[in-house]
Amino acid sequence: MAEIMTLARHILQRKRKYDAATGDFTLLLNHLALATKVVSRQVARAGLLDVLGKTGTENVQGEEVKKLDLIANELLIELLNDLPMVCAIASEEDEHIRHTEAGRLTGRYLVCFDPLDGSSNIDVNITIGTIFSIRRRADTGCEAVAEDFLKPGTEQVAAGYCIYGSSSLFVYSTGDGVDGFTLDPSVGEFVLSHPGIRIPDEVACFSVNAANRRNWYPETVAYVDHLGLGSDVRYKKTSLRYVGTLVADVHRNLLVGGVFLYPGDRKAPHGKLRLLYEAHPLAYLVEQAGGAATDGVGRILDIVPTGLHMRVPLVIGNRREVDLYAEFTHRYAAIPPDATT
């Protein structure tokens, strides 16, 4: 029988420096994987259960909450709540951090997550996903406060996501590269299917919500036109692909090569995506796979959050295209505004 590398075995083998003695980190990652399996089951049967549609409430960001958003959020919280190594949790769906019951004083890890990314796609059977990020806490012995979460992305010790698509795929990194595992429903295990993911140098896809063009700054218009309409042979075979689920768009581009952008624009200067729950973890993974991520000015991982729900412009994917966007930003910053209209 060929060797089957399950996620649990993989995590155990890679437990590395974090918990050589305790096994805490291993248990935490395994719990996150378990949570995504349960979410995956709910997503797969969504049309049969009463879990589609809206809850009728709004989250802290003023966005409508879908029933599955809430279910995924509660599931993750419930599973993490029992872990003594997790001190506190920050979720995209919750205004404040939550302390866990088991680890509020002693836990060494802080966990951030977007329980269900791509909410607008839930009810139409399009790929959605869960994104998570883990940081270590400096002190123990007291409850964590929100400021403990407001650290640059370089302080993440692990990040990952699970996408619920044609199959469910769990992708994670602990700083040693990126590996992907497909859920085998017959055994209920994630099995290694995408070892050592590296973003290809080709630009198969670029991904952007083109309906926002009317609000884009000139550098974004010029950049998107350069990729889509220009004569550069590098983009001759590039297609526009936009799912509208960040984690699915980034995942696809990670496998085939490409760049995703959700820039700041005149309507939303800080963009739409959240630094702690979306940009930091995905930037960590994409960098680990040889790519890059910028807000147009600097590296996403270097940005220190000013609040739990801070939004940030995000351009992520192949290093060359990410650097090129930063160059466009730089170039246009030097041009007086009325010269570009």
Q: Given candidates 117, 179, 219, 249, which one binds Mg ion under the rule CB under 5 A?
A: 117
Asked whether position 179 contacts ligand AHM by CB under 6 A, the answer is no
| Type and span of the H or E element at 224 | helix 218-228
Site for ligand AHM in 122-161 (CB under 6 A): none
**DSSP class per residue in 231-282:** --GGGTT-EE---S-HHHHHHHHHHH-EEEEE---SS-TT-SSBIIIIIHHH
Site string for ligand AHM, 247-266 (x = CB under 6 A): ---------------x----
C-alpha torsion angle, residues 36, 252, 277, 163 (rounded to 10): -10
Site size toward ligand AHM (CB under 6 A) is: 12
The item of ligand AHM, Mg ion, none sharing an interface with residue 7, based on CB under 5 to 8 Å by kind, is none
Q: What's the closest the beta carbon of residue 187 comes to Mg ion, in angstroms?
A: 30
Choice between 117 and 219, CB closer to Mg ion: 117
Tell me the window of 98-106, 111-119, 152-160, 165-173 that interacts with ligand AHM (CB under 6 A). 111-119
- Distances in Å between the Cα of 179 and the Cα atoms of 74, 159, 285 are 27, 11, 10
Determine phi and psi for 282, rounding to 5 degrees.
-70, -35
* Token code pair at residue 165: 């698509």
Judged by beta carbon, residue 181 or residue 262, the one nearer ligand AHM is 262
Residue whose CB is less far from ligand AHM, 19 or 63: 63
DSSP 8-state secondary structure symbol assigned to residue 154: G
Stretch that binds ligand AHM, among 149-157, 180-188, 239-247, 331-339 (CB under 6 A): 239-247
118 binds ligand AHM (CB under 6 A): yes
Residue 230 is encoded by which pair of tokens?
């220009």
Q: Is the dihedral of CA 174, 170, 305, 298 positive or negative?
A: positive
Q: Compare residues 197 and 279 and give the one whose CB is closer to Mg ion.
A: 279
Whether 89 contacts 28, CB under 8 Å: no
Q: Any contact of residue 117 with ligand AHM (CB under 6 A)?
A: yes
Q: Could you give the angle at which helices 218-228 and 319-333 cross, rounded to 10 degrees?
A: 140
Q: Which is nearer to Mg ion, 228 or 244 (CB)?
A: 244
Asked whether position 93 contacts Mg ion by CB under 5 A, the answer is: no
- Interactions with ligand AHM, residue window 66-105 (CB under 6 A): none
Q: Output the six-digit token pair for 149.
A: 């979460």
Q: Does 189 bind ligand AHM (CB under 6 A)?
A: no
- As a whole number of angstroms, the distance between CA 333 and CA 341 comes to 13
Task: Give contact residues for Mg ion (rule: CB under 5 A).
Answer: 114, 117
Task: Give contact residues for ligand AHM (rule: CB under 6 A).
Answer: 63, 114, 117-120, 209, 244-246, 262, 272
